[in-house]
């Protein structure tokens, strides 16, 4: 079974621009979560989507948004990029059955550099 895939793998943008990252979960997985990883703050939760609905949101500004499509693929968008948005953005998928804790499997990430 193919793993979680993310595109693009690397991205360079300038301050003020906006960016869209894409994530395709493992086949059959319905929950997609996004995380930001930086050397200073570590891995931090951005948001989770399940059945096209945002179920959870982390403590990030409104410039960070996302969505999920009917095939469970997800995108996240960052508008008005700031230097501090430079990070590895990781997507994780899980099967997510009701009332159960499911393991999240991570994609390879998108390395975003903001100049």
Partner 1 sequence: GQNIDQPTEMTATEGAIVQINCTYQTSGFNGLFWYQQHAGEAPTFLSYNVLDGLEEKGRFSSFLSRSKGYSYLLLKELQMKDSASYLCATMIKAAGNKLTFGGGTRVLVKP
Q: Which residues bind partner 1 (CB under 8 A)?
A: 31, 33, 35, 42-45, 48, 50, 55-56, 58, 90, 92, 94, 96, 101-109
Tokens linked to 79: 């508008």
Least distance CB 19 / partner 1 (angstroms): 19
Least distance CB 115 / partner 1 (angstroms): 20
Distance CA 50, CA 68 (A): 8
Is the bond leading into 48 cis (omega within 30 degrees of zero)? Answer: no
Which is closer to partner 1, CB of 15 or CB of 94? 94
């Amino acid at each position: 079974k193919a793993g979680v895939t993310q595109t693009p793998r690397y991205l360079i943008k300038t301050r003020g621009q906006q960016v869209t990252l894409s994530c395709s979960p493992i086949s059959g997985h319905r929950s997609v979560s996004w995380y930001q990883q930086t050397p200073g703050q570590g891995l931090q939760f951005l948001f989770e989507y399940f059945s096209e609905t945002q179920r959870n949101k982390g403590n990030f500004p409104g410039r960070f948004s996302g969505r999920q499509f009917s095939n469970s693929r997800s995108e996240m968008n960052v508008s008005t990029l700031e230097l501090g948005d430079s990070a590895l953005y990781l997507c994780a998928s899980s099967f997510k059955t009701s009332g159960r804790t499911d393991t999240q499997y991570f994609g390879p990430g998108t390395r975003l550099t903001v100049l």
